[in-house]
Amino acid sequence: MKKGERISPHERATAFEVVANARGMSEMALRVWFQSPHPSMPNLMLTEKLSDDLIAYIMSLKQGRRTGRGL
């Protein structure tokens, strides 16, 4: 996706909100998920920092998650 886009140009891509709210989803599960091949997902080569940031972003989309900022 390009900066500011909310919908992937790949029509089969799962929305990050759906991923975040999948049963049993955790930071560890996302690490494994990013390192496993998927038919509709490109082979990602993420730096540790970028991986950490992406996982934190996806986990921030989890419904019912407390942000610690009173939101």
DSSP characters over the chain:
--TT--S-SSTTPPPHHHHHTSTT--HHHHHHHHHS-BTTB------HHHHHHHHHHHHHTSTT---SS--
Over residues 13-27, the mean pLDDT reads 90
Over residues 30-35, the mean pLDDT reads 85
Confidence of residue 2 (pLDDT cuts 50, 70, 90): low
Domain ranges within the chain, ordered by starting residue: 16-60
pLDDT at residue 19 tops 80: yes
Considering the entire predicted model, what is its pTM? Answer: 0.69
